[in-house]
Chains A and B, each alone.
Chain A
Amino acid sequence: GAGVSQSPSNKVTEKGKDVELRCDPISGHTALYWYRQRLGQGLEFLIYFQGNSAPDKSGLPSDRFSAERTGESVSTLTIQRTQQEDSAVYLCASSGGGTGGHEQYFGPGTRLTVT
Chain B
Amino acid sequence: AQSVAQPEDQVNVAEGNPLTVKCTYSVSGNPYLFWYVQYPNRGLQFLLKYITGDNLVKGSYGFEAEFNKSQTSFHLKKPSALVSDSALYFCAVGTNTGFQKLVFGTGTRLLVSP
Contact = CB atoms under 8 A, between A and B. Distances in A.
Contact of A43 (B32, B42, B90): B90
Range of interface residues on A (Cβ < 8 Å): 20 to 34
Nearest to A6: B43
A4 B44 CA distance: 11
Interface stretch (A14-22, A63-71, A79-87, A104-112): A104-112
A103 B44 contact: no
Contacts of B44: 43, 91, 93, 106
Nearest to B46: A103
Contacts of B107: 41-42
Interface string B36-62: 100000111110010100000000000
A53 B92 CA distance: 24
Contact of B32 (A91, A93, A100, A107): A100
A12 B32 CA distance: 37
Given A42-B106, A101-B49, A108 B32 contact: no
A45 B103 contact: yes
A62 interface: no
A95 B100 contact: yes
Contacts of A97: 100
A109 B99 contact: no
Given A43-B90, A91-B44, A109-B43, A103 B49 contact: yes
A48 B101 contact: yes
10 contacts: A4-B43, A41-B107, A42-B90, A42-B105, A45-B103, A100-B99, A101-B96, A104-B34, A106-B43, A109-B43
Interface of B: 32, 34, 36, 42-46, 49, 51, 90, 92, 94-96, 99-107
Given A42-B107, A102-B100, 14 more contacts: A4-B43, A31-B100, A33-B102, A41-B107, A42-B104, A45-B102, A45-B103, A48-B99, A56-B101, A101-B100, A103-B34, A104-B100, A106-B43, A106-B44
